[in-house]
Amino acid sequence: MKRLACSLLAVLAGLGAQVPTVRRPESNRLWSRDPAAVNAPWQPVGRAQRLLAMAAIGGRLYGASVAHYVLERERSLGDAPWTIIGESWMVSAMAALEGKLYVANREGVLGVAPPAPNIYFKAIGEQKGIIAMAGLDGNIYAVNSAGRLLAWQDAVHKPVRWMDIGRADLVTALAALDGKLYAATSNNRLLIRDSTLADRPWKLIGHAENVTAMTAYNGKLYAAAYSPAVIAIPQKPTVCALWETNRLYWEARGFLRAAKQAGKIQGSRECLGLAGDPQALKTRGGRELADLIAGSCAQCACAAEFPAR
């Protein structure tokens, strides 16, 4: 407890560093669907970065990954990069409520913080075994490892006190929206029930394959899924793997793509030469952009835009 109170989330040096990843997007995806319709299709909206927990607040998605990072991205229905905003401390569940993020970690500690760069969670209580959370109408709902659905009523104003409100068998992820709770299960089902603070039955409304984290925002469900059987994260990722989802990397790729189309850069050898020479790169795009993307970021962007034949 003392360890978390001092620093539940350590400050991440070099904001914008990225999560190790591999190029198997079919096994590490973020999906979205209509929450109301039965058997509504899931639509892919980008990569998921092996998330264990998700929440949505202020038009952005937040997640905690197995690599012990807290990340954020735009809530767009297209692919968007995830950016690290801090280093998590074994976060296992996350919820958003009234402008703040609430988390539970694997050591049974609960924390809260506003979403911001170098995020710092303040310890507010203890509850072992929390594996999923969601916030709605002033309450925080949680699922524990015993398969029970819990509720913390008026969480912003009242101390942590959980009440048992029903079963949550096999649930791996939880979301809440418009008076309803949504649950993804380990046998690939999507369930729904009323969010009332009493026992209510769950109803099957579709599938949710390999879902590890889920949230809801502005009329949509978002689910992170990956298949551990076919995806492997390297212990020592390459420099380019670390840059891959960084916003600067995508800006660099956009600049290099435009320069390529305009004929200002010819081939991978020239591109890589310019990447290590900010002054030369300046002549192709201007000082600010040259300084921004010079170095390893530009080298990785060159490798993507000018692949070696």
The pLDDT assigned to 26 comes to 39
Among 43-47, 73-77, 289-293, which range has the highest average pLDDT?
43-47
Q: How far apart are the first and last CA of the chain?
A: 55
> Tell me, what's the pLDDT at 1?
38
What residues pair up with 134 in beta bridges, in sequence order? 141
Tokens of 50: 């092996």
pLDDT one-digit tens code per residue, 163-199: 999 999 989 999 999 999 999 998 889 999 999 999 9
Whether 285 shows a pLDDT value over 80: the answer reads no
H/E stretch holding 136 reads: strand 130-136
Q: Which residues lie closer than 8 Å to 66 by C-beta, 6 or more apart?
A: 50, 51, 52, 233
The long-range contacts involving 24-29, CB below 8 angstroms and separated by at least 24 positions, are 24/230, 24/231, 27/226, 27/227, 27/230, 27/231, 28/225, 28/226, 28/231, 29/224, 29/225, 29/226
- 101 φ, ψ (degrees, to nearest 5): -100, 135
Q: Which of 158-162, 233-237, 245-249 has the lowest mean pLDDT?
A: 233-237
Q: What is the pLDDT of residues 78-130, one digit of tens each?
A: 788 899 998 777 788 999 999 999 999 888 999 999 999 889 899 999 998 89
pLDDT score of 236 more than 60: no
| Share of residues in the chain with pLDDT > 70 (%) | 78
pLDDT of residue 294: 64
For the entire predicted model, the pTM comes to 0.67
